[in-house]
Amino acid sequence: QKEVEQNSGPLSVPEGAIASLNCTYSDRGSQSFFWYRQYSGKSPELIMFIYSNGDKEDGRFTAQLNKASQYVSLLIRDSQPSDSATYLCAVTAGGNNRLAFGKGNQVVVIP
Amino acid sequence: GAVVSQHPSRVICKSGTSVKIECRSLDFQATTMFWYRQFPKQSLMLMATSNEGSKATYEQGVEKDKFLINHASLTLSTLTVTSAHPEDSSFYICSADSGTGGNTIYFGEGSWLTVV
């Protein structure tokens, strides 16, 4: 089993709609959870991080964490064309802030 | 925010040669840096954890003699791809841990390596 799984295929959403991304992880001991946005050919940039169960909101982004079910999700409200990118879920694993990444979900916002 | 700089951003080298990529934390000290590799349309794969003043910790399947990592100071880690082959062509990204709480991991801009 992979450490971090993102199984959804490319996601197309109309401009202004909500994009929903999900991620599951295998290590119950993981403490920190991150969502990164990566534009093609660029390095990842941090969108959200969350440590505690529940929701965390930052602008148009909401991260949701459920440690019992070992999943973390990201909601993008009022999606904009500039949100079109690949979103990577990452989880700290093995101490030392070592990050394990999911394969990513491509989001395409259609104007 | 904290800045991590990678150099070069793009490099082309001939097969069989070695190439060095630098990762610098510009405004903080990083006892730990991480090196990732990303092939097109794939996720970031952690190659190794670079520890200042000690040997790097390599992930399973990563050849330590091929990917030499040196973390000689608290602000600089280098990755040297030795005897590069075309299959080593990839996007190499470093990150540095500032350890200041909250989100403490900062990514460099990445380095595109093409081996011809």
3-state secondary structure chain B: CCCEEEECCEEEECCCCCEEEEEEECCCCCCEEEEEEECCCCCCEEEEEEECCCCCEECCCCCCCCEEEEEEECCEEEEEECCCCHHHCEEEEEEEECCCCCCCEEECCCEEEEEC
The pLDDT tens digits for A19-61 are 999 999 998 888 889 999 999 989 999 999 999 999 999 999 9
What per-residue confidence (pLDDT) applies to B102?
55
For the segment B36-92, what is each residue's pLDDT rounded down to a tens digit? 999 988 889 999 999 888 889 999 999 999 999 999 899 999 999 999 999 999 999
Q: Is the pLDDT of residue B19 over 90?
A: yes
Q: Which residues of B touch A87 (CB under 8 A)?
A: none
Q: Are A96 and B32 within 8 A, CB to CB? A: yes
Cα distance between residue B53 and residue B71, in whole Å:
6
Question: In chain B, which residue's Cα lies nearest the Cα of A100?
Answer: B46
The model's pLDDT over B86-108, given as tens digits with 9 standing for 90+, comes to 999 999 999 998 876 556 788 99
**CB-closest option in A43, A100, A103 to B108:** A43
Residue B30 gets the label, from left (phi > 0), alpha (psi -120 to 50) or beta, of beta
Interface test with A, best of B44, B46, B111 (most A CBs within 10 A): B44
